[in-house]
Structure 1
């Protein structure tokens, strides 16, 4: 029986979303702008990387072809092979928003049928009654922040006051999130998680997609750093996903990275959550080696987004892409006859774009495996085509409204 592995390269968009102007993102192109920056020398950083963006394995599988099909422009500094070795195309998101749950749920066969709630005010972002409810629920002396902010910047700014007062740092962005940062030792990691669970219930009526625990460590002398103990408390998907179908049929499922959080731990099987792209890739390969026939491995590699996209770090993002590209041959070598591998993304996060938030983009889709004939997949009118393909591949029947290839 067949197996399938689906790896989401978090935020690795390929530009061109027709409705991007509705989100202030007209012209955003994560992969295209990174390639251009590298070709022009703006992607260089001493001791990290230099020169044109080098993604030979992903390009071999059809990445450059997929990007050019999406935007109409070639990736700067990259030579396309005449005949890619994988199936390649790009997906168009039909869900509203440009957030992680929207993208992942649609990939899994469940597009979002409603509009997310947002905290739109840049300052005093949270309604007064919500702030009062948070303080009461957590028996807190108050909160800090209460505005749109970059997570790293607001922690640097308010960490010492947080430690001195015991007030957690609460902030948001243009995404449907309420983030709470607190020191793992001074505030307590489990206390932070408990607070986030309470806040999750408080924001459910507002249709806020995620409450995110952002623990950090450190002090004045050493500086403050976020840890790998981030946890997302998400609304569960509003309908059936491929994970639900797999669970109903008793199929083995492994989820790696923040997949469990994104799907509210519903039907997410054996959850593995190491820290960092390299560790998550290693964990995925180990789990894959033991995955029985008929099984599914669902992986999110988040560093592209959190470490480099939101921080608008072009060289860092480019280096992370090149590091992943170097891992791809190991994934190919781990595939057995009958196995299917799909690489895609959930949204964009163009590091050359103003601000610090996600960008509304198409996403590349690369599919490959032993005996799978290369061919263009073209424009896929919904991310749900991915779930439909995996569903048919694993013998689950039609999953979601998508059209498989």
Structure 2
């Protein structure tokens, strides 16, 4: 029996979502705009300069997938470099452009209900929710209560948080409640308990409550830590992970995967923060995972460090660093293994605001069991159906395997 790997490049969208207009994202193109900026010299910084250099990803078909989705071929994304594996471009049907929706649909469970979103007002949260949170957690109050970027609001309100003991409460365009607090002054365990209270008080249609611990002594050196915790609602039906686990198959979840799937079917959960640590954990799992294993990993820094912060140079440098380590992973795949590299949404660093963008995503199939050639347009759920077929699971309700499909 062979193994399956689902590698999510968080937010590496490739433009062209058919329903982008409904989200205000017509024209967004995370990868294409990064490549254009680099070619124009506007992507220099973070130790990199010049055209975007991702030859390994291009050899797997990333440029070809971008051309299929967006219809353009920016410098640095030449589709002619595709030489191995199979590639396609996938569109999402779920009603949100958030992390849970993307991951769940990729694993066979589209989100067919409306998430609860909070308005871009001050306050953003309903007064009864905030009052109950303050009362049940014994807080002196809260700060923020607004839409914000996580790094910006910590820099703006972190010192007041230290003076008053009031945690920082905020949201975004996603269906999310986020609470930031100082890891030592407020306490990590206390922050986690506060988020558990918020999870209980928030509607089930709020996708996640996220604990955002940070450290530092002032605005100049505040920094978020790797002890983030997501309290997600569970998927509405069994995902690929749950179905494989229920069938007795080994599942290894690396990084934030356990939180995204509310620990349903996530098997052995390997904690890792930051791309270097995530790469180390993935390579370790690739070397040790038994036959029949499903290994799932999310490379979150593309999204959290660079997309939301609208940092083109940082995003480009992260893509190039990912590309440099990718051969280590591919070399460790065994006969019969199938790896699928994909994204969950876009987060165009050239786009206004700081939120995700509604885009198509690349689907790159690699490894000894990968087919060859252009798979064309796909659905997100086709990714889960393909891995299910590879792992010899019965078909789920959504998606169609590309294995055996003519290129």
TM-score range, shorter chain: over 0.9
Query: In 2, distance between residues paired with 1:155 and 1:293?
Result: 45
Aligned-residue RMSD, C-alpha: 1.2
- 8 Å CA contact 2:35–2:52 kept in 1: the answer is yes
SS of the residue aligned with 2:79?
coil
Residue of structure 2 in register with 1:19 after alignment: 19
Query: In 1, distance between residues paired with 2:81 and 2:326?
Result: 20
Residues 129-181 of structure 1, C-alpha deviations (whole Å, 9 max, x = no match): 11101101211111000001111111111111111111100001111111000
SS of the residue aligned with 1:123?
coil
Cα shift at 1:83: 5.1
Residues 86-145 of structure 1, C-alpha deviations (whole Å, 9 max, x = no match): 100011000001000000000111000101100013321001111101101211111000
Distance 1:82 1:7, change over 3 A: closer
Residue of structure 1 in register with 2:382 after alignment: 385
Residue of structure 2 in register with 1:368 after alignment: 366
- 8 Å CA contact 1:8–1:344 kept in 2: the answer is yes
Distance 1:273 1:395, change over 3 A: same
Moved more, 337-346 or 82-91: 82-91
Matches within 5 A, 1:6-405: 6-45=6-45, 48-81=47-80, 84-205=83-204, 207-220=205-218, 223-370=221-368, 372-380=370-378, 382-405=379-402
User: TM (normalized to structure 1)?
Assistant: 0.97
Query: In 1, distance between residues paired with 2:295 and 2:140?
Result: 43
- 8 Å CA contact 2:159–2:219 kept in 1: the answer is no
Query: In 2, distance between residues paired with 1:78 and 1:116?
Result: 35
- 8 Å CA contact 1:52–1:78 kept in 2: the answer is no
- 8 Å CA contact 2:30–2:348 kept in 1: the answer is yes
Cα shift at 1:230: 0.6
Query: In 2, distance between residues paired with 1:51 and 1:58?
Result: 18
Query: In 2, distance between residues paired with 1:67 and 1:179?
Result: 33
Cα shift at 1:250: 1.4
- Ranges of 4+ aligned residues in structure 1 off by more than 6 Å: none
SS of the residue aligned with 1:212?
strand
Residues 214-257 of structure 1, C-alpha deviations (whole Å, 9 max, x = no match): 00001128621100111111010001101111111111110011
Moved more, 14-23 or 74-83: 74-83
SS of the residue aligned with 1:36?
helix
- 8 Å CA contact 1:144–1:170 kept in 2: the answer is yes
Distance 1:361 1:287, change over 3 A: same
SS of the residue aligned with 2:290?
coil
Distance 1:182 1:371, change over 3 A: closer
- 8 Å CA contact 1:388–1:400 kept in 2: the answer is no
Cα shift at 1:399: 2.7
- 8 Å CA contact 1:236–1:264 kept in 2: the answer is yes
Residues 164-207 of structure 1, C-alpha deviations (whole Å, 9 max, x = no match): 111100001111111000001111001101110110111124x1
Q: Which runs of 5+ in 1 are unaligned?
A: none
- 8 Å CA contact 2:59–2:81 kept in 1: the answer is no
Query: In 1, distance between residues paired with 2:17 and 2:125?
Result: 30
Query: In 2, distance between residues paired with 1:221 and 1:149?
Result: 16
SS of the residue aligned with 2:222?
strand
- 8 Å CA contact 1:101–1:262 kept in 2: the answer is yes
